[in-house]
Amino acid sequence: MQYHAANTDSLMFITPRPDLVFERGEGSWLYDHNGKAYLDFIQGWAVNTLGHCPPEIAAALAAQAGKLINPSPAFYNGPMIELAGLLIANSVFDRVFFANTGAEANEGAIKLARKWGRLHKDGAYEIITFNHSFHGRTLATMSASGKPGWDTIYAPQVAGFPKASYNDIAAVDALIGAKTVAVMLEPVQGEGGVIPADPAFMQALRELTTKRGILLIVDEVQSGMGRTGKLFAYEHAGITPDIMTLAKGIGGGVPLAALLAREEICCFEPGDQGGTYNGNPLMTAVGIAVLKRLLAPGFLAEVEARGQYLSKRLLELSARHGLKGERGSGLLRALILADERGPEIVRRALEGGPKGLLLNSPRPNLLRFMPALNVSEGEIDLMIGMLDGLLSSQP
């Protein structure tokens, strides 16, 4: 570990990281500088849709890099147009703006809703969001997030984000006033602990927002792009939101994000919105490769089946170890522990051997699973076996 331990001092400290360096990835496996293999159920934080270094992404990057990397955001390029067309053809939305990160796409959604409010709702600007929600790390998206403590770290906050309780339609109704322009939510709260919205709640939200003449924004940065077994999680409720944001899975590992909206909502004028890398062909070419794979016949049905399989295996594990069950949607799931051992299990899973296991604990009593969407049953079995051992043994 010596050779790089000193070098990490040149990185700004933001979080404790394990003392190892990852050098290579393939499918569900990552390899560190000692050659140790890790079964990866984090996958770049629900990002690597097709696993590590899938051939179609490597090929798309190489082909596009040899052709055109950056014509400038002031010009059209082929991949940008093709990917927007594919997203429109496979969703309820009419237009797309590309960005680089989820936070940036959400900033765009907030700006679009506020602009729409200025034009059509007498200057209404408030966006109702939810306790324990996560929308990103810019100042506005931190203010929109319902993460405890985030209201004070970088105070003052960006104003205009009243918080409601999740899955509680009366709480939303009570917050709607003359200044309200939209409601924004994650169809599955990811960072908050993998909590799916009830389809009935999503339907009631759509009804309520329509009745009150305000917008419904879905943040599908984590839940979108096949993660829940449908291309987009709003489909489970059969509703038509007004605005959607995507990131994480759409790039399969590269920085790509998107803001989608229905035609009536699109009201940006020149100068309102932009970004140097928006729609750059290197990233959008990857987005096309990812989306085409998700749209291949049978792919999403496999995600659904694998999600059910993972759920079943987690329930067995829960019963065997006296845990509190599991929850989630598709291949975004959490095992609910009976105590606060999450971080300790994550550490032992990483350090154990001969092979390590990469898991995440968004709350001390939860373990979160966000494998590649093409994870195999054999890899799920392997993970369950490793976790079984970790749950049986004490630190």
Candidates 126, 219, 242, 379; binder of ligand PLP (CB under 6 A) is: 219
Residues 241 and 238: their CA atoms lie apart, in Å, by 10
Q: Which stretch binds ligand PLP (CB under 6 A): 21-29, 100-108, 193-201, 316-324?
A: 100-108
Candidates 112, 231, 247, 282; binder of ligand PLP (CB under 6 A) is: 247
- Residue 10, Cβ neighbours under 10 Å: how many? 6
Contact between 280 and 274 under an 8 Å Cβ cutoff? The reply is no
Check residue 126 for interaction with ligand PLP (CB under 6 A): no
Q: How far is the CB of 259 from ligand PLP (least distance, A)?
A: 12
DSSP letter for each residue of 294-362: HHSTTHHHHHHHHHHHHHHHHHHHHHHHT---EEEETTEEEEE-SSS-HHHHHHHHHH-SSSEEE-B-S
Site pattern 50..89 for ligand PLP (x: CB under 6 A):
----------------------------------------
Check residue 253 for interaction with ligand PLP (CB under 6 A): no
Q: How far is the CB of 44 from ligand PLP (least distance, A)?
A: 11
Residues 25 and 32: their CA atoms lie apart, in Å, by 9
Candidates 64, 101, 209, 374; binder of ligand PLP (CB under 6 A) is: 101
Cis omega (within 30 of 0) for bond into 343: no
Check residue 326 for interaction with ligand PLP (CB under 6 A): no
Q: How far is the CB of 232 from ligand PLP (least distance, A)?
A: 13
Provide the token pair at 285: 């070419």
Provide the token pair at 111: 């700006």
Our CB check for ligand PLP shows the closer of 246 and 386 to be: 246
Which residue bears the tokens 């729409």?
116
Our CB check for ligand PLP shows the closer of 258 and 291 to be: 258
Our CB check for ligand PLP shows the closer of 186 and 326 to be: 186
Q: Is 136 helix (H, G, I), strand (E, B) or coil?
A: coil
How big is the site for ligand PLP, counted in residues (CB under 6 A)?
A: 15
Contact between 182 and 144 under an 8 Å Cβ cutoff? The reply is no
Check residue 102 for interaction with ligand PLP (CB under 6 A): yes
Our CB check for ligand PLP shows the closer of 43 and 106 to be: 106
Check residue 233 for interaction with ligand PLP (CB under 6 A): no
Check residue 391 for interaction with ligand PLP (CB under 6 A): no
Question: Could you give the dihedral angle defined by the CA atoms of residues 241, 245, 247 and 250, in that order, rounded to the nearest 10 degrees?
Answer: 40
Check residue 222 for interaction with ligand PLP (CB under 6 A): yes
Provide the token pair at 115: 């602009």
Tell me which residues touch ligand PLP (CB under 6 A): 101-103, 106, 134-136, 186, 190-191, 219, 221-222, 247-248
